[in-house]
């Protein structure tokens, strides 16, 4: 049991008021600093007027509690570390579902503020400027920017400050005014210690400065107010100009906000902050619309904003949307170099790495990202994957160990080693992946995914029997938990087919994997390969066709890991149809899907050209002229929708233009698709469906439809469909050239010439 002196020493001392006796009179002051939220009240004192010496002070503070003094001096300190810790839990859910990390960089009269959701890799940063009027303190927001945000950066910055002020401040657009700060502080400090709150009238803030990672505000009675900094004056004027637009944005009426910003720019042409706000709203409104990104870039250029400055992230995002990949990489890299908030700079470098095709250059950007934000997991995971891709196994393992050190709890460590094991296995380092999956099983002994990963790794290093046993156990564990372990089914099927020479059992396993599974494309491709090896050509052809249908249905939803699997299935299917069955039209359809998936892949392009030559040779027949007796220019043109450069038809019937009703056409497409599924031989349905698809601009779907019909068409029907297919290929070529995909456009042109 502690002694009495020890007990008194361990009890925190609560600062109280004490008498301050000076030559000018008597007053009350704090005996030590006190804390109010994130503020530290370093000094506060009040004079007691109408008291003349001599005066009896034997009663101490209690003798003067009833008197109301005049507030003479206040010194407030806002520590950066205390403010970061105070703000972080209050911003939970503002950017993502978790509690974000708050980063503050102190400067004279203001700060750079960063709010980063580390789990979701969302980052927001903005600048704040402080200025004072009498006893009021105002905060003005400007230069908001961010990465992976669910809205304009300025709008989210306003929500952040609103969440922190909690209604204490008056908002005027992006300017938040705290009224009577010194008076409010006095009303907390004095009454809590048994004295009357002093009169704060006449007190002004005489100094506002950043010093040693803290802001110091000095207020004094009957003194000259502090002079505002030039940056605070500019920010205040910008907030006043943008106030109506900011109010509309907070009400989620972005179109109105845009209109108000345009009006403001007419009064203040080329205003930098107004231009930035307009550009970010145009980017938000322009998702999926052509021209908005270009308009936003033009707005920034007109304002002569520097892409290397605060707009680097926004410029990079806009350039990426316009297809200028090289420009976007340069803008992101410059933003990473100049961004003061470390995690946001890391996200900028990460964006540059994501767009870079050169793995070694991407590693340079990712090294920069990790150095600026070592605790941000996303860039480190991507660097780990790229290090493995370039053969740097030890460096990859070091990244995995660092990620484990960042994780909290056994569940998080299990997830790290499991994901790292997947990356090592996918990169072909099976012995290392086995060790990582063993670490994962240390934290989750009955985890089906890690068990399956270890089993597949052991099979790859030659321990087939033990690996197959673990894969079977993983499937059993997953079924007991009600989880589908389709990857384990595929890995076990590969063991059965390649190691145990039991292809029928392997086919049975992959055949049962449903179409909605992520692994369905791989499963159908493997089924086709193994059926072909057994001589079941018809079954293999059907399996590869199902794989192609899945790829076409998923389209852009194919994740990076399944693209390689999809391309492999399409190429194998094309080889089977062309080389084995001699059906080069069916092969061309597989390769047409592959070329849309990977238009720059040399293997796919060469196979597509070869299939086109074969199809053209079959269409001409032996001894036929090279162009089949008809040049592409003289071929009949399908006029489902007039070409932009086509001459107007002379017939009276063609002059009657039916108005386009997109809603009606979309509904009609669904109806005609169901009719075609019910009766695939109805050519009239095909013709009407083709016209609707062309009118709606759904050219890729139309290309797939016509390719399938050409596969089964007789000579007469084929002659009717070929002009339509030529026109569709022409439109695909136009679209590819307009998007800057020249190689893809050339392939479409060659395919049309072969037809």
Please check whether residues 545 and 594 belong to one and the same domain.
Answer: yes
Instruction: For 439-472, give one letter per residue: b (16+ CB within 10 A) or e.
Output: bbbebbeebbbbbbbbbbbbbbeeeeeebbebbb
594 in a domain, yes or no? yes
How far, in Å, CA of 204 to CA of 71, rounded?
11
Report if residue 59 sits inside a domain. Answer: no
pLDDT one-digit tens code per residue, 302-319: 886 554 445 789 999 999
- Whether 139 has a pLDDT exceeding 50, the answer reads yes
What token pair was written down for 494? 């590969």
- Whether residue 640 lies inside any domain: the answer is no
Higher local confidence (pLDDT), 466 or 7: 466
- Residue 70 falls within a domain, yes or no? no
CATH of the domain at 679: 1.25.40
User: Is the domain of 608 the same as that of 695?
Assistant: no
Is there a single domain that holds both residue 619 and residue 672? no
Distance of alpha carbon 682 from alpha carbon 49, whole angstroms: 102
User: Which of the listed residues 606, 626, 646 is the one where a domain comes to its end?
Assistant: 626
Query: For residue 661, what pLDDT is reported?
Result: 55
Average pLDDT of span 504-523: 91
In a domain, 368, yes or no: no
Of residues 712 and 74, more confidence is placed in 74
**What integer pLDDT is reported at residue 633 of this predicted model?**
37
Q: What is the mean pLDDT of residues 349-372?
A: 94
Residue 62 located in a structural domain: no
**pLDDT for 690:** 78
Check residue 662 and give its pLDDT: 59
> What integer pLDDT is reported at residue 366 of this predicted model?
96
pLDDT at 382 over 80: yes
Share of the chain above pLDDT 90, in %: 46
The confidence band for 53, taking pLDDT boundaries of 50, 70 and 90, is low
Please determine, for residue 97, whether its predicted confidence score (pLDDT) is greater than 50.
Answer: yes
CA–CA gap between residue 207 and residue 224 (Å, rounded): 10
Residue 615 and residue 695 in one domain = no
Give CA–CA dist 451/434, Å, rounded. Answer: 10
Residue 639 has pLDDT above 90, yes or no: no
Q: Helices 537-554 and 520-533, interaxial angle, to 10°?
A: 160
Residues 250-278, mean pLDDT to the nearest whole number: 93
Residue where a domain terminates, one of 626, 649, 684:
626
CA gap 268, 288 in Å, rounded:
30
Q: What is the DSSP string of 309-335?
A: TTTHHHHHHHHHHTT-HHHHHHHHHHH
List, for residues 701-749, the tens digit of each pLDDT value: 777 777 766 666 677 777 777 777 777 778 777 777 776 667 667 777 7
188's enclosing H/E stretch is helix 181-189
Number of domains in the chain: 2
Torsion of CA 489, 490, 496, 501, to 10 degrees: 150
Asked if 614 and 699 sit in the same domain, the reply is: no
Q: Is 658's pLDDT higher than 50?
A: no
Domain boundary among 578, 600, 626: 626
Q: Has residue 557 got a pLDDT over 70? A: no
Q: How confident is the model at residue 54 (pLDDT cuts 50, 70, 90)?
A: low
- Domain assignment of residue 97, yes or no: no
Does residue 718 sit within a domain?
yes
Mean pLDDT over 102-127 rounds to 91
671 and 748 share one domain: yes
Q: What is the pLDDT of residue 287?
A: 66
Three-state secondary structure string covering 336-373: HHHCCCHHHHHHHHHHHHHHCCCHHHHHHHHHHHHHHC
Looking at the fold, whether 535 and 621 belong to one and the same domain comes out as yes
Mean pLDDT of the chain: 83
Whether the predicted pLDDT of 128 surpasses 50: yes
Q: Is the pLDDT of residue 419 over 90?
A: yes
CA angle in degrees (0–180, nearest 5) for 567-570-572: 105
Are 530 and 615 part of one and the same domain?
yes
The band of 288, judged by pLDDT with boundaries at 50, 70 and 90, is: low
Same domain, 593 and 689: no
Q: Is the peptide bond before 54 cis (omega within 30 degrees of 0)?
A: yes
Is the pLDDT at 31 greater than 90? The verdict is no
- pLDDT of 629 reads 37
Q: What's the pLDDT tens digit per position in 178-201?
A: 999 999 999 988 888 888 888 888
Domain containing residue 698: 663-754
Task: Tell me, yes or no, whether 618 and 668 share the same domain.
Answer: no
My answer on whether 582 and 674 are in the same domain is no
Residues 695 and 595 in one domain: no
């Amino acid at each position: 049991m502690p002694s009495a002196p020890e007990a008194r020493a361990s009890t925190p001392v609560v600062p109280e008021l004490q008498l301050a006796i000076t030559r000018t009179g008597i007053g009350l002051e704090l005996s030590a600093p006190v804390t109010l939220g994130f503020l530290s009240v370093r000094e506060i004192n009040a004079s007691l007027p109408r008291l003349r010496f001599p005066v009896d002070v034997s009663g101490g503070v209690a003798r003067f509690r009833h008197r109301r003094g005049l507030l003479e001096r206040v010194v407030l300190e806002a520590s950066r570390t205390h403010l970061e810790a105070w703000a972080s839990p209050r911003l939970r859910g503002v950017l993502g579902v978790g509690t974000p990390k708050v980063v503050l960089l102190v400067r004279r009269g203001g700060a750079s503020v960063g709010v980063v959701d580390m789990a979701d890799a969302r980052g927001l940063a903005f600048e704040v400027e402080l200025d004072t009027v009498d006893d009021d303190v105002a905060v003005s927001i400007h230069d908001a920017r961010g990465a992976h945000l669910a809205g304009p950066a300025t709008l989210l910055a306003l929500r952040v400050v609103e969440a922190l002020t909690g209604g204490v401040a008056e908002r005027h657009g992006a300017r938040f005014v705290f009224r009577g700060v010194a008076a409010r502080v006095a009303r907390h400090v004095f009454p809590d210690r048994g004295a009357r709150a002093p009169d704060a009238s006449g007190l002004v803030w005489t100094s506002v400065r950043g010093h040693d990672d803290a802001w110091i505000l000095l207020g004094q009675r009957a003194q000259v107010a502090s002079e505002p900094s030039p940056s605070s004056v500019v920010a205040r004027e910008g907030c006043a100009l943008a106030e109506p637009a900011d109010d509309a944005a907070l009400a989620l009426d972005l179109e109105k906000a845009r209109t108000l910003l345009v009006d403001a720019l007419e009064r203040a042409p080329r205003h930098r902050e107004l231009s930035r706000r307009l550009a970010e709203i145009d980017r938000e409104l322009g998702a999926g619309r052509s021209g908005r990104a270009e308009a936003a870039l033009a707005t920034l250029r007109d304002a002569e904003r520097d892409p290397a400055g605060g707009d680097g992230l926004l410029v990079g995002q806009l350039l990426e949307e316009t297809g200028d990949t090289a420009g976007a990489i340069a803008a992101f890299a410059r933003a990473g170099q100049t961004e003061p908030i470390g995690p946001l700079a890391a996200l900028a470098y990460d964006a540059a790495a994501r767009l870079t095709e050169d793995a070694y250059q991407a590693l340079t950007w990712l090294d920069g990202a990790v150095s600026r934000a070592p605790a941000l997991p996303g860039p480190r995971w991507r660097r780990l994957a790229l290090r493995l891709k370039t053969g740097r196994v030890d460096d990859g393992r070091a990244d995995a160990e660092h990620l484990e050190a960042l994780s909290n709890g056994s569940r998080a460590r299990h997830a790290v080693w499991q994901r790292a094991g997947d990356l090592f296995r996918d990169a072909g380092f099976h012995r290392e992946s086995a060790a990582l999956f063993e670490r994962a099983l240390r934290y989750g002994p009955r985890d089906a995914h890690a068990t399956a990963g270890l089993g597949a790794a052991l099979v790859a290093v030659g321990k087939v029997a033990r690996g197959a046993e673990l894969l079977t156990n993983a499937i059993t564990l997953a079924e007991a938990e009600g989880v589908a372990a389709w990857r384990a089914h595929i890995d076990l099927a590969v063991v059965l087919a390649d190691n145990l020479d039991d292809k029928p059992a392997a086919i049975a396993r992959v055949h049962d994997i449903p179409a909605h599974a992520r692994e369905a494309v791989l499963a159908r491709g493997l089924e086709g390969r193994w059926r072909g090896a057994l001589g079941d050509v018809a079954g293999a052809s059907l399996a590869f066709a199902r794989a192609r249908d899945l790829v076409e249905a998923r389209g852009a939803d194919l994740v990076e890991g399944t693209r390689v699997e999809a391309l492999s299935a399409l190429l194998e299917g094309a080889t089977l149809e062309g080389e084995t069955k001699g059906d080069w039209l069916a092969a061309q359809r597989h390769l047409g899907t592959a070329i849309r998936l990977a238009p720059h892949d040399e293997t796919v392009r060469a196979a597509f050209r070869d299939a086109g030559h074969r199809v053209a040779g079959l269409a001409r027949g032996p001894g036929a002229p090279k162009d089949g007796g008809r040049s592409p220019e003289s071929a009949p043109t399908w006029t489902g929708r007039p070409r932009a450069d086509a001459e107007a038809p002379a017939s009276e019937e063609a002059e009657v233009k039916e108005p386009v009703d997109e809603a009606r056409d979309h509904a009609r497409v669904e109806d005609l698709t169901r009719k075609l599924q019910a009766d695939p031989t109805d050519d009239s349905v095909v013709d009407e469906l083709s016209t609707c698809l062309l009118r709606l601009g759904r050219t890729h779907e139309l290309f797939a439809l016509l390719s399938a019909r050409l596969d089964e068409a007789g000579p007469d029907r084929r002659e009717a469909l070929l002009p339509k297919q030529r026109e569709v290929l022409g439109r695909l070529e136009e679209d590819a050239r307009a998007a800057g995909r020249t190689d893809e456009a050339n392939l479409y042109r060659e395919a049309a010439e072969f037809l």
